[in-house]
Structure 1
Amino acid sequence: MGKSGRVFVRGLTSQTYGLGEFRSRQLAVDRVRDDSVVVDDAKVGHSGDSEKSRTWWRIGPGDEEFLTQTIQVHFVELPPESSNHGHGHQNEAAFYILEGRGYEIHDDQRYDWAKDDLVYVHTDSVHRHFNPYPERAVALVVKAKCTWMFMGLIQQGRSGPIDRPEEFGPREDWSRIWTPGVLDRKKVISPADTVWEDTTLGRVRVMASPDRTDGRIFSTDAFELDIPAGGHSGKYWKMADEVYYVLDGSGYALQWEVEAEIAEKYYARIALEPKRYEITRGDTLYVPQNHVCQLFAADGTPLRLFNAQNRVFKHLGYDTVHYFEPASDRPGGTSA
């Protein structure tokens, strides 16, 4: 939360052309956050909560210790037999259901969800969350909201009349300017809609990606990663930053900073020594832009994680992940 209100987009200024000092400050921030970290309690500048529901942010552009604004992370809790307030915004959002079950009303249509589902709030959606059941429901929300804000797509609020109605004509169907075919795409991706695959990264269940054209989301990619006890993920390098949420188990991550050597062309220089981050259930782990990363299950049990990242990187020419080492259960991999 910013000192004068909610921060939707953070500025980037410098007295010099090089931005090394700015990047150094970002990389110095702690990358693991647990339930003790609440960067915004949704009491200012939010329209979603009812008297019963609760929303709190863990990663956002208004963080005093700034991490990122390419992917935001917050939580929504609905106690038994409750709902939040409906509202609308132009940006997409993805809800991973951590606990319970319930349903959404999106543009006057109902979509039911349960634990381990990924639920999409599509662009330009009026939406509201409901929990009519006797157990509480909790969702992890990831979104690339700042991408919309950077581009001036800032129309949002609760349902109600427009200002200056006398200056505008009758209602028109907003969907006329949406990508063709989106109305036929799924709004809820359940485990039954996915398969576990053995990949170089490890055992993965992809829920949102450019290759999955059945889901109605364009800005955020998401998958689950399951690392066996004593094992590790592939050691990979990519440009996009990302957030892991630990669903179960404990372990650690190694992250190697990558420096750009600007000579006759760009060269990547990878740090000789990684930084180590301990993680356990309920933690978020941030992986900055242009880093090498590898994850390890270290407490004798499997490590299960949810990953989210901003898809826009893939449209900027960074759609490849390079692997230095495969996962421990893949050919060429080694156990931890």
Structure 2
Amino acid sequence: MGKKGRVFVRGLTSETYGLGEFRRRQLAVKRVRDDSVVVDDAKVAHSGDSEKSRTWWRVGPGDEDFLTQTIQVHFVELPPQSSNHGHGHQNEAAFYILEGRGYEIHDDQRYDWTKDDLVFVHTDSVHRHFNPYDETATALVVKAKSTWMFMGLWQQGRSGPVERETEFGPREDWSRIWTPGVQDRKKVISLADTTWENTPLGRVRVMSSPERTDARIFSIDAFELDIPAGSRSGKYWKMADEVFYVLEGSGYALQWEVEAEIAEKYYARVALEPTRHEITKGDTLYVPQNHVCQLFSYDGTPLRLLSAQNRVFKHLGYDTVHFLEDAPEYEAPQPS
């Protein structure tokens, strides 16, 4: 949280052309955060909570120490028989249901959800969370809000009259400027909407990706990764940074920094030694931009994780994941 208020977009300044020193400081920050880390308790400049609901941030652009602003992570908790106040904003959000069940009201439409669902707050949505049941509901929320803010898409708030109303005409249908057909896409991705696949990364359940054109989200890609006890994921390199949330189990991650050697063209130089990061249930693990990563489960403890990243990297030309090593359980298709 910023010292003078809520930070929506973090600035980058330097007295030199390069930003090497900024990157060194960023990479020195601890990449694993647990329940002891609350970087924003939603007491300043937030409008969604009611007297009963609770929101708190784990990763965001105002963090000290700073990790990233490409993706933000926070939690929403709804006690039994409760709701939040609700509000509206232009940015999307995706929230994974960690426990409980409930429903949403988005633009006056109801969407029910339960544990292990991924639910989307669509662009330009007025939304409110409800838990009418007898158990607590908790959601992990991931979003690329800073991307919207950087692009000037910052209209948000609670319901109320338009300021300077006499200067504006009558209401128009906002959805006229949305992607055609978007209102027919799914707002809730449940277990029944997904399949587990063996991939070079490991056993994966994709919930949101550019290929999932049935899902109403454009900014966040998300999947679950299941690593058997004593096994490991594939060893992979990509440009996008990433946040993992540990759903079950314990293990560790190895991460190798990739440096750019700018000669007659760009060359990648992978660090000879990785950094090691211990993780357990409830932790978030941050993987910085332009890194090689591999995840390991401990013997006797399967490891299940939720991955989220900002899809904008794919639109910028970084839409390939390069595998230096496949997961042990993966068998590559044989050429026909």
Residue 273 of structure 2 is matched in structure 1 by: 273
1:181-224, CA deviations, whole angstroms, 9 ceiling, x for partnerless residues? 00100000000000000000000000000000000000000000
Q: TM-score, normalised by structure 2?
A: 0.98
1:241 alignment partner AA: D
SS where residue 221 of structure 2 aligns? strand
2:197 matched to which residue of 1?
197
Report which stretch shifted further, 205-214 or 295-304.
295-304
* Structure 1 unaligned regions, length at least 5: none
What amino acid sits opposite 1:100 in the alignment? G
**What residue is the counterpart of 1:180 in the other structure?**
180
Q: State the distance in 1 between where 2:109 and 2:212 align.
A: 23
CA-to-partner distance for each residue in 1:20-53, whole Å, 9 max, x for gaps?
0000000000000000000000000100100000
The percent identity for this pair of structures is 86
The aligned counterpart of 1:41 is 41
Q: Give the whole-Å Cα distance in 2 for the aligned partners of 1:299 and 1:127.
A: 43
Amino acid at match of 1:307: S
Over residues 221-250 of structure 1, what are the superposed CA-to-partner deviations in whole Å (9 max), with x where a residue is unaligned? 000000000000000000000000000000
In structure 1, the residue matched to 2:308 is 308
Is the 1:236–1:321 Cα contact (8 Å) retained in structure 2? yes
Secondary structure at the aligned position of 1:254 is classed as strand
Task: Tell me, yes or no, if structure 1 residue 142 matches structure 2 residue 159.
Answer: no
After superposition, the CA RMSD in angstroms is: 0.7
For 1:279 and 1:64, the matched residues in 2 are separated by: 21
Q: How many Å separate the matches in 1 of 2:135 and 2:39? A: 27
Aligned to 2:117: 117
Name 1:50's counterpart in structure 2. Answer: 50
SS at match of 1:102: strand
Listed one character per residue, the Cα deviations across residues 129-182 of structure 1 (whole Å, up to 9, x for unaligned) are 000000000000000000000100000000111100000000000000000000
User: What amino acid maps onto 1:191 in structure 2?
Assistant: L
Could you say which residue in structure 2 is the equivalent of 1:29? 29
Ranges in structure 2 where 5+ consecutive residues have no aligned partner? none
Q: 1:299 and 1:38, CA in 2 relative to 1: closer, same or farther beyond 3 A?
A: farther
Report the alpha carbon displacement of residue 299 of structure 1 after superposing the two structures with TM.
Answer: 4.3
**Partner SS, residue 183 of structure 1:** helix
Query: Which amino acid in structure 1 is aligned with residue 293 of structure 2?
Result: C
Specify the alignment match of 2:127 in structure 1: 127
Shift of 1:55: 0.1
Describe how 1:1-336 pairs up with structure 2 within 5 A: 1-331=1-331
Equivalent residues of 1:94, 1:220 under 8 A apart: yes
- TM-score w.r.t. length of structure 1: 0.98
CA deviation after TM superposition for structure 1 residue 331, in Å: 3.8
User: 3-state DSSP class of the match of 1:142?
Assistant: strand
Q: Partners of 1:19 and 1:309 in 2: how far apart?
A: 22
One-letter amino acid matched to 2:321? V
Which 4+ stretches in 1 moved above 2 angstroms? Answer: none
